[in-house]
Amino acid sequence: MTDPVRLRPKRPCPICSKPSQQKFHPFCSNRCAQIDLSRWLGGHYGIPAVEAEDDRQEGSDES
């Protein structure tokens, strides 16, 4: 039997830098995947957002 075709390039695990595994991509193991999930759920990761001052000023003028 031939080896499966890899659709994703091998990259290092973002948690521990070991080579990633196809089963847990982009992580090397279930442990690293769970660590990453815990960080997301704990609020350690976030997307910064800045509100435009113009939007806030328009809302106060209408009151």
Domain ranges of the chain: 22-62
Mean pLDDT for the stretch of residues 42-56? 80
Cβ–Cβ contacts within 10 Å for residue 14, how many? 13
- At 55 the pLDDT is 55
pLDDT at 30 over 70: yes
For residue 35, give every residue at least 6 positions away whose Cβ sits within 8 Å of its Cβ, in sequence order, or none: 15
Cβ neighbors of 56 (< 8 A, separation 6 or more) are: none
Q: What is residue 42's predicted lDDT score, i.e. its pLDDT? A: 93
CA distances for 19 relative to 2, 4, 48, angstroms: 22, 18, 30
pLDDT confidence band for 2 (50 / 70 / 90): confident
